[in-house]
Every structure is written in C-alpha cells, then in structure tokens.
Chains A and B, each alone.
Chain A
Amino acid sequence: MLLDSTTKVIVQGITGSQGLYHAKLMRDYNTQVVGGVRPGKGGQEVDGFPIFDSVMEAIDATSATASVIFVPAKFVLGAAIEAIVAGIKLLIIVTEGVAVQDTMEIKHRALKAGVDLIGPNCPGLIAPGKAKIGIIPTNIVLPGNVGIVSRSGTLTYEVIYQLTNAGMGQSLCVGIGGDPIKGWNFIESLEYFQNDPNTDKIVMIGEIGGNAEELAAEYIKNNVTKPVVGFIAGKSAREGKTMGHAGAIVMGNVGTAAGKIKALEEAGVKVAEKLSEIPDLFK
C-alpha cells in the first residue's frame, strides 16, 4: 500500500505559510503527520508539530517513511536529496517552478534508491477516508474503488468532484504534476492501480503536449485489464509554439489532443468529451 492511515509523514518546509497550512489540513484528515523539517529550528514545536533540523533526525525520532516538500523552488534539489539519502521511501514535491536539471537529478537519485517520487509541481496523493499527502481538498473525495491519475492539479479536483457527485468513490487519487520531467508518470500510476486490490476502475486525465498519454496507451494495451476512462484537456487549443526541431523529430506527430485520444481509444480506453461524462462511461 502506497499510502494509508499508518503512513508516517514529515513536512519539509513546515514553517512556511503553505507548508504549515497544508500540514494542518493533512493532520485534520487523520494523516499521521509526525513532524517537520526546517534547518535551524530543530527542537522547536509549531502548532503541535515537532521540528527537526534534518530529515535524518526526523526519521530517527519518528520512523517516518514519507515526506512532502513545500520549500521554495531553488531549495527543492537540496531538500529532495536529503530526503532520499535519509531513506524516505515516498517523496512528494508540491513546489512548482523547479528547474529541469534539478528535477532530473532528483529523479535519477530516486530511481537508484527505489524511492516513489511524485511531482514536482503536483497536488500529491489522497487515499479517501485514510490519509492524504499534499494539497488535494478533502471535502470533495469519497472512499471507493476508482483510481484517478492526472497531470493537472485543478483538473484532478474537478474529476474527483464529478465522480463523488455521481456516487463513485475513489481508492487513490494521484496528481502526478504538470512538469515535463516528473517522478511517477501515467505508467507508474497505472501499474499501481492494476495491482492494487482496492482499485477496480481507473480514470486518467491527460492534456496536450509531450507523449506521456501515448506511452500510457501503449502500456494499457499490454498490461491493464481494469476498465480505464480518459479525458484530454486542450482540444480547442490552437497550435502552440513549436518545441524546436529536435522535439518534433523525436516525438513525431504526437502531442495533439486528437493524436492522444486516438491512441487511448485504440488501447480500449473510453475517452470523455466533457468531464461530466466520465461517471457514465463506466456503465
């Protein structure tokens, strides 16, 4: 299980306003937020959260296995390396605007150390009724058996809300984030849902640009037996600025909404035109 009510979580950047605000919301949702890290403020306490100078000390004292990072973008690389070296197994980076090279370094290290990395620039995870790490609003979720994975934060919320309104609860919602380079992508999320006994159905929310949806479609075709419903944002977008020659050559004719929808449909995924159609497509 990636995340449940026994998962012990620390917050890196807990003394910042967003870090503390969301640490409290996570705790309010009965997540075991066992402390926070802020170098120089070790030994203090903020709103009942013990503060540590380093991730390693936090783990020594609390046995935390998960960490969520809220520090400013230019400090994310240092914070993430610290978490990985200290032995954190599930690392969520909420911060947006992290430099590509920094994300590459973090991802490279996470892969080597066997750390499940989510983000950066992502809303994180919520296992409805159990726990949440990140910033997904709790008032829209409902426990159930639908796994949701999405590239966009606010679209994730929108889809959760639509499903909840239709009475379809969620097993785990994963916001993988909008950056081109990220930890978990669709494939890792789909693999998790396929193997997760609590998940019977999967919703996948993609958007124009890149080729993650096309790769996911290929993966679904070969590996996923649970029903998948998809949605692609950006259908009405005009052709944007090109990525440059190399990008176009590497990717070929991919990245458009039409291409992604076609790839998903060929993999047996039902693709919704409007978000509100998603619940009905499982019937």
Chain B
Amino acid sequence: MGLILEFEGKELFRKYKLNLSKSILVTSAEEAKEASSKLGLPVVVKAQVLSGGRGKRGLIKLAKTAEEVIQHSIDILSMQSDGRQVTHLLIEEGADIAEEYFISMVTDSYTLETLVLFSIEGGVDIENLAEERPEMIDKIRIPFNGDHQPFIFMSTLAKRGLTGNKKIQIARIMSTMVTMMQKEDITLCEINPLVVTKNEEVIVLDARIIVDANATFRHPERAEYLSEELRNSENEKDAKAQDLAYVDLGGEIGMLSVGAGLGMATADLIAVFGGSPRNFLDVGGGAGADKVEHALRIMLKDAGLKSILINAFGGITRLDEVATGILQARDKFDKIKSGEIPLVCRLMGTNYVEGIKILEDAGIKAYKDMEPAIEEAVNAAKGN
C-alpha cells in the first residue's frame, strides 16, 4: 500500500477533470518565486511530504508577497519530515475560502462495497470529529460494480442543506472518486478540505491517496513517483531490489523469516524472552539461496545488531536452499564468519532434514523447534 504525495494525487484528479487550483512543483526558493509570479499572489507554499498534519508542523504557509514566498520556501526546505530533508514544494494559487468539506472513501474488504464518507465540517481533524460528533459524518455504501452516478449522492448532500450548483458539483466529485478507486487501483481516496470559494466555486484543495502497490503493472509510471523514492530508506530500497521485505525495528536481534505472520510471532516471542528485534527480513515464499544471502547482507548493515535469528518454516520455500544461502553468507561476511555476531538457526518444513544436514556438516547448529532457538538468540544478544 502506498500513500502518494499531494501533487501526485492532484495529477490523478486532474486526469479526471476535477477542479483544482493552479500549482507548480519546485525544489528551490528561486523557483518558488518564479512560480508565484506566474500564478499571481497570494500563493500557498506546501511541503511535499508523506506525513499528515503539515499545517500544524509549519510545512504549509500562506505567502502574500514575493519576499514571503522566498522566506517560507527557504524555511520549509530547511525542515525535516519522516527523518528526511524536505526537497519539493508545491506552490499553489491562494483560494478565497468560504466553506470546507471532507470526502473520503475506502473499500470494505468484507462486503466489497466502496464506503463513501462525507462531512460538511471539513478542514479539521476528521478522526476527532468521528469520535466527538459522529453524526456529522455521512456514510454512503456503493456496492461492487454498483451505480455511483452523481444522483446517488444528492439526497445525502441535500439533507445537509447543500443546494444548487454547489450540491451538483460535489455529487459529481464523489461520483468521479468512486470511478477512480476502480480505474486507478486506489485503496484510499480522500479530499480534506474540499472548499467552496466566495464565488461558489468548488475546488479540490488537498489530495490524500493510497494506491495499490500490486497494481503498478497497470500503471507503470508509478514506479517513478517521488513518493516511491521518499517511502523507502536505503535498506528498504536495497531489500526491494532483491524482492525482499525489510522492516527497521530498532532493537538488537536480526530476524530472518519466511512470511510476515511467522515474523510477527517470532518478534512476539523475542519480547517474551526479554529481547527486542533489530530488524526483520522477510524472504517470502519460494526464496532461493541467493535471496537468503542478500537478506543477511542487508541485515548486517544495521548498527546495534547483536545476534541473528533465522526462523524458517518452509512450505513453498525449500530449506536446503535456505541452508545453502546461510552458508554463502557466512563465507562472505566477516561478522558472521568471525562469530562476532552469533547466528542461531531454526529450520522446519519442506526439505528441512536436508537443510539441517547442510548446516550441521558446516558446523552450524540448527534447531527444529522455534522457542529454544529464539531463547538462544536472545541470550546470545545479551552476550550469554
């Protein structure tokens, strides 16, 4: 699941002809000033980052003069978000806001319906609103492949006092968003706020969109998105290139597992035995020896690693392959070879007898059960 950046989301909205303010993406104060003179003042300077709450964090600022554009741009470009320097700003025309609304939609994974949420109290923290005054949020359920023409939404909007062109335009936006969910492989589509200006113009002011990472084959351009670059740390990129999953967990034990479920259960047991995982490398189903070697290579890059725990249960994965990968890694990486970072293995499932034999012939002890292996890895991390 990948959240995309505001400007990427807005490009998607533009493709579906939703009404947006004019905006220009820039990477320096100089470019920001140029953009603002093209757009006309005032403009809003908006950091393009993945985390929300940008307004509160000073990552969105209104600029009424050219000097303010430069100052705000310099300020925001010197800030950090999600552990990274802000690199991109969206310079957007200011809007004369009269009213703010909220529209959000997700798929109900059980019924396959698209659940459309709407509130006439947009622009605020919607999670708080949902808790304090849930009656202010309308919910409309659209069946899978069901009708979602604008008329479907009009009665709900009318009950909230919306009339005329404003009501029709908002119903159209909702209808279009449902279409986009399907056509663009979107799993969350949100506009907060959707604003109405003093001239009764309806404008999409923000875009919060999560796209389905498994659907990139239908949207190859998404592989090049800036959000894709921002989402992943160096280790995550490295892991992804090898078709591995990497999670930074901050503790001291490196975990290599097959499948996220077993990885989570392993982390739980590490906690039960009094340890904490440094990172988690999921080699996924069907991994070969080279993939296991790469996983261990990436695992070793993290500082603070005290022991390595390999907990592999093979279904589609053959454990003789896993064992071979472990040996390859031991022979290549000094930290394992020298014993500086102790390695504890547990193999069970498809070809585990062969796997354990490969390891034992090479002088590496391998467990069949997970609990004693995890306990040993925790003890090894403590230097016992």
Verify B316–A18 contact, CB threshold 8 A: yes
B348→A157 contact, CB < 8 A: yes
CA distance A123 to B106 in the complex (A): 27
| B341-384 near A? 1/0 per residue, CB < 8 Å | 00000001110100000000000000000110000000000000
Given A178-B261, A207-B264, A245 and B115 contact (CB-CB distance below 8 Å): no
Interface residues on B, range: 35 or more
Q: Cβ of B265 and Cβ of A155 under 8 Å apart?
A: yes
Q: Is the Cβ of A155 less than 8 Å from the Cβ of B272?
A: no
Q: A18-B286, A137-B350, A140-B349 are in contact. Are A246 and B106 (CB under 8 A)?
A: yes
- List B residues at the A interface (Cβ < 8 Å): 1, 3, 104-110, 112, 115, 117, 126-127, 130, 137, 144-145, 182, 185, 187-188, 190, 192, 208, 210, 212, 214-215, 217-218, 249, 257-262, 264-265, 267-272, 284-286, 313-316, 348-350, 352, 370-371
Contact partners of B214 in chain A: CB under 8 A: 73, 97-100
Q: In the complex, are the beta carbons of B185 and A100 less than 8 A apart? A: yes
The answer to whether A274 and B269 have CB atoms under 8 Å apart is yes
Chain A residue numbers with a CB within 8 Å of B284 are 96
Given the known A-B contacts A233-B264, A244-B188, are A104 and B316 also in contact in the complex, defined by CB atoms under 8 Å?
A: no
User: Contacts A99-B218, A244-B190: A154 and B257 contacting too (C-beta < 8 A)?
Assistant: yes
Minimum CB–CB distance for B227 against chain A, Å: 13
Nearest A residue to B209 via CB reads: A244
Chain A residues with Cβ below 8 Å from B190 are: 244-246
The answer on a CB contact under 8 Å between A236 and B315 is no
Given A152-B259, A178-B261, A246-B104: A161 and B127 interface contact (C-beta under 8 Å): no
Q: How far is the CB of A115 from chain B (nearest CB, A)?
A: 15
Q: What would 16 A/B residue contacts be, using CB atoms closer than 8 Å?
A: A18-B316, A22-B316, A100-B107, A100-B187, A100-B215, A101-B212, A135-B315, A157-B314, A157-B348, A158-B348, A236-B271, A241-B3, A245-B126, A245-B130, A247-B106, A250-B115
Q: Is A74 an interface residue (CB 8 A)?
A: yes
Cβ B267 vs Cβ A74 within 8 A: no
Within 8 Å CB of B267, what residues of A? 234, 236-237
**Chain B interface, >50% SS class:** mixed
Known: A100-B212, A244-B104. Is A135-B127 also a contact (CB below 8 A)?
no
Q: Is the CB of B109 within 8 A of A245?
A: no
Complex contact B261–A108 (CB within 8 A): no
The verdict on A185 contacting B110 (CB below 8 Å), with A135-B315, A244-B188, A246-B105 known, is yes
Chain B residues with CB under 8 Å of A108's CB are: 112, 144-145
Taking CB as reference atom, which chain B residue is nearest A237? Answer: B264
The CA-CA distance from A134 to B352 in the complex, in Å, is 19
A235 and B271 contacting across the interface, CB-CB below 8 Å: yes
Which chain A residues border B315 with CB–CB below 8 Å?
123, 135-137, 153-154, 157
Residue in chain B with minimal CB distance to A138: B350
Q: Is the CB of B106 within 8 A of A150?
A: no
| Chain B residue contacts of A136, Cβ below 8 A | 315
Nearest Cβ distance between residue B173 and chain A, in whole angstroms? 16
CA distance A137 to B355 in the complex (A): 15
Query: Knowing A135-B316, A246-B190 touch, does A104 contact B349 (C-beta < 8 A)?
Result: no
